[in-house]
Amino acid sequence: MSLSPPLHAARRLALASGVLLLAGCASLQSSQSFLSRITPYRLEIVQGNVVTKEQAAQVKPGMTRAQVRDLLGSPLLTDPFHADRWDYVFSIRRRGTEPQLRSVVALFEGETLKSLETSGDLPSEREFIASIDPESAPREVPSLALTEEQRKALPAPPRPTPAQAVPDVAARTYPPLETTRP
């Protein structure tokens, strides 16, 4: 039994497709390391208020609610059933770093702060930045003010020439705002 040329070509094409599919499956198994590097994008979720050691050290018993809010920010949770309690909760999930969860509770008696309770050791500002950005090397913080030696090393500003001088304001004349009607 002989096959017609178009049917013979279709059979060869089906056989070639099957072989390629099987070869593709074998290459997927051998390239697991390549596929494991491809991951979907995941959002970085940051919630709450970061409270650092420096901020917590400034808060003292006897402060008013407004003073505590000025130092720590607005609390994440205020419970109407526990009006004398403010909860500052912070959580972050970021790719490449460990998830973090911290809690600080401010307890009040009326309008004054009674105590500030923390769940564990709070990080300093530098420790917090290092924990959320582990890939960056420690950087030197640039100085924002010039030393006296740097000021003396600056070139003197150029003196304005008479042509650059500001014209006398009193010498300016302007047209009248309204025309007078006869």
> pLDDT tens track of the chain, all 182 residues?
555 666 677 788 888 777 777 666 555 555 566 666 777 777 778 888 889 889 999 999 999 999 999 999 999 888 888 889 999 988 888 777 778 888 999 999 999 999 999 877 888 888 888 777 756 555 676 777 889 999 999 998 888 776 665 666 667 777 778 777 76
Domain map of the chain by residue range? Answer: 45-131
- Cβ–Cβ under 8 Å, residues 71 and 55: yes
pLDDT (0 to 100) of residue 12: 82
Round to whole Å and give the CA distance between 8 and 3.
6
pLDDT at 161: 74
Query: What local confidence, expressed as pLDDT, does residue 33 receive?
Result: 65
Provide the Cα torsion 146, 151, 153, 158; round to 10°. 130
- What's residue 157's pLDDT? 86
CATH number, domain 45-131, options 2.120.10.90, 3.40.1710.10, 3.30.1450.10, 3.20.20.60: 3.30.1450.10
Taking the model in full, what pTM does it have?
Answer: 0.51
Enumerate residues 6+ apart whose C-beta is below 8 A from 120: 102
* Cβ count within 10 A of residue 130: 13
Among 131, 112, 108, CA closest to 50 = 131
Give the DSSP per-residue string, 65-104: HHHHHHHH-S-SEEETTEEEEEEEEEEEE-TTS--EEEEE
Residues 6+ away with beta carbon under 8 Å from 160 = none
Altogether, the residues listed in the chain come to a count of 182
pLDDT score, position 4: 61
